[in-house]
Amino acid sequence: MKDYNVNKSEAEWKEQLGLERYKILRQKGTEFPHSGKYNMHFEEGTYVCGACGEPLFASDSKFNSSCGWPSFDEALPGKIEYVKDTSHGMIRTEIMCANCGGHLGHVFDDGPTQTGQRYCVNSLSVDFKE
Protein backbone atom coordinates (compact mmCIF):
# COMPACT_ATOMS: atom_id res chain seq x y z
CA MET A 1 0.00 0.00 0.00
CA LYS A 2 1.39 3.39 -1.02
CA ASP A 3 1.99 6.00 1.65
CA TYR A 4 -0.05 9.15 0.88
CA ASN A 5 -0.17 12.46 2.74
CA VAL A 6 -3.64 11.42 3.96
CA ASN A 7 -3.80 7.80 5.17
CA LYS A 8 -6.82 6.21 6.83
CA SER A 9 -8.04 2.70 7.43
CA GLU A 10 -10.77 1.43 5.12
CA ALA A 11 -13.18 1.57 8.09
CA GLU A 12 -12.33 5.25 8.62
CA TRP A 13 -12.79 6.01 4.91
CA LYS A 14 -16.13 4.19 4.84
CA GLU A 15 -17.39 6.12 7.86
CA GLN A 16 -16.22 9.47 6.45
CA LEU A 17 -17.39 8.98 2.86
CA GLY A 18 -20.60 6.97 3.15
CA LEU A 19 -21.31 3.95 0.98
CA GLU A 20 -21.77 5.63 -2.44
CA ARG A 21 -18.63 7.75 -2.28
CA TYR A 22 -16.65 4.94 -0.67
CA LYS A 23 -17.52 2.66 -3.60
CA ILE A 24 -16.16 5.22 -6.09
CA LEU A 25 -13.19 6.70 -4.23
CA ARG A 26 -11.85 3.64 -2.42
CA GLN A 27 -13.15 0.65 -4.43
CA LYS A 28 -12.63 2.19 -7.88
CA GLY A 29 -16.30 2.19 -8.82
CA THR A 30 -18.02 4.20 -11.54
CA GLU A 31 -21.23 6.14 -11.26
CA PHE A 32 -23.90 5.78 -13.94
CA PRO A 33 -23.42 8.15 -16.90
CA HIS A 34 -25.42 11.40 -16.83
CA SER A 35 -26.24 10.85 -13.13
CA GLY A 36 -23.61 13.03 -11.42
CA LYS A 37 -24.35 16.51 -10.13
CA TYR A 38 -21.20 17.96 -11.73
CA ASN A 39 -21.73 16.51 -15.21
CA MET A 40 -23.32 19.71 -16.58
CA HIS A 41 -22.00 22.07 -13.89
CA PHE A 42 -20.06 25.06 -15.29
CA GLU A 43 -19.63 27.57 -12.46
CA GLU A 44 -16.30 29.27 -11.73
CA GLY A 45 -14.23 27.69 -8.99
CA THR A 46 -12.15 24.65 -8.18
CA TYR A 47 -12.99 20.94 -8.11
CA VAL A 48 -11.42 19.28 -5.08
CA CYS A 49 -11.01 15.67 -4.00
CA GLY A 50 -14.19 14.39 -2.36
CA ALA A 51 -12.14 12.45 0.17
CA CYS A 52 -9.43 14.87 1.31
CA GLY A 53 -10.33 18.30 -0.16
CA GLU A 54 -7.15 18.64 -2.23
CA PRO A 55 -7.63 20.98 -5.25
CA LEU A 56 -7.56 18.92 -8.47
CA PHE A 57 -9.11 20.78 -11.41
CA ALA A 58 -9.79 24.45 -12.20
CA SER A 59 -13.25 25.15 -13.58
CA ASP A 60 -11.79 26.72 -16.73
CA SER A 61 -10.42 23.29 -17.71
CA LYS A 62 -13.92 21.74 -17.68
CA PHE A 63 -15.78 21.12 -20.94
CA ASN A 64 -18.92 19.37 -22.15
CA SER A 65 -17.72 16.09 -23.63
CA SER A 66 -21.22 14.56 -23.86
CA CYS A 67 -19.76 11.35 -22.37
CA GLY A 68 -21.97 11.49 -19.26
CA TRP A 69 -19.28 12.36 -16.73
CA PRO A 70 -17.57 15.63 -15.82
CA SER A 71 -14.65 16.16 -18.20
CA PHE A 72 -11.54 18.30 -17.88
CA ASP A 73 -8.71 18.90 -20.33
CA GLU A 74 -6.01 19.22 -17.68
CA ALA A 75 -5.43 18.79 -13.96
CA LEU A 76 -3.72 21.16 -11.57
CA PRO A 77 0.04 20.44 -11.62
CA GLY A 78 1.16 17.59 -9.35
CA LYS A 79 -2.32 16.82 -8.04
CA ILE A 80 -3.07 13.63 -10.00
CA GLU A 81 -1.45 10.19 -9.87
CA TYR A 82 -1.58 8.16 -13.10
CA VAL A 83 -1.83 4.36 -12.92
CA LYS A 84 -2.06 1.79 -15.72
CA ASP A 85 -5.46 0.06 -15.45
CA THR A 86 -5.91 -3.28 -17.23
CA SER A 87 -9.29 -4.12 -15.68
CA HIS A 88 -12.38 -4.87 -17.80
CA GLY A 89 -10.33 -6.28 -20.69
CA MET A 90 -8.85 -2.94 -21.79
CA ILE A 91 -5.85 -0.74 -21.11
CA ARG A 92 -6.66 2.65 -19.63
CA THR A 93 -4.99 5.24 -17.42
CA GLU A 94 -6.62 5.55 -14.02
CA ILE A 95 -6.46 8.94 -12.32
CA MET A 96 -6.17 9.17 -8.55
CA CYS A 97 -5.78 11.98 -6.05
CA ALA A 98 -2.03 12.22 -5.39
CA ASN A 99 -2.76 13.39 -1.83
CA CYS A 100 -4.93 10.50 -0.60
CA GLY A 101 -5.08 7.90 -3.39
CA GLY A 102 -8.80 8.36 -4.03
CA HIS A 103 -10.01 6.99 -7.38
CA LEU A 104 -11.33 9.78 -9.61
CA GLY A 105 -11.85 8.13 -12.99
CA HIS A 106 -9.67 7.81 -16.10
CA VAL A 107 -7.87 10.05 -18.57
CA PHE A 108 -8.10 9.52 -22.33
CA ASP A 109 -6.23 10.97 -25.32
CA ASP A 110 -9.38 11.96 -27.19
CA GLY A 111 -10.06 15.43 -25.82
CA PRO A 112 -11.22 18.13 -28.25
CA THR A 113 -9.11 20.95 -26.78
CA GLN A 114 -5.45 21.92 -27.26
CA THR A 115 -4.27 19.44 -24.61
CA GLY A 116 -5.89 16.48 -26.39
CA GLN A 117 -6.79 15.10 -22.96
CA ARG A 118 -10.16 14.14 -21.49
CA TYR A 119 -10.07 13.58 -17.74
CA CYS A 120 -13.29 11.64 -17.22
CA VAL A 121 -14.20 12.08 -13.55
CA ASN A 122 -16.93 10.67 -11.31
CA SER A 123 -18.99 13.48 -9.73
CA LEU A 124 -19.03 11.53 -6.47
CA SER A 125 -15.23 11.68 -6.33
CA VAL A 126 -15.09 15.49 -6.23
CA ASP A 127 -16.58 18.50 -4.48
CA PHE A 128 -16.78 22.04 -5.84
CA LYS A 129 -15.49 25.22 -4.19
CA GLU A 130 -16.45 28.64 -5.57
CA distances from 60 to 31, 52, 78 (A): 23, 22, 17
- CA angle 127/75/42 to nearest 5° reads 50
Under 8 Å between Cβ of 31 and 69: yes
| 100 counts as catalytic | no
Q: Count H helices and E strands in the chain, helices first.
A: 1, 9
- CB-based contacts of 91, cutoff 8 Å, min separation 6: 84, 85
Pseudo-torsion of CA 60, 63, 69, 75, nearest 10°?
A: -40
Which position among 49, 97, 100, 120 bears the catalytic label?
Answer: 120
Enumerate the active-site residues. Answer: 120
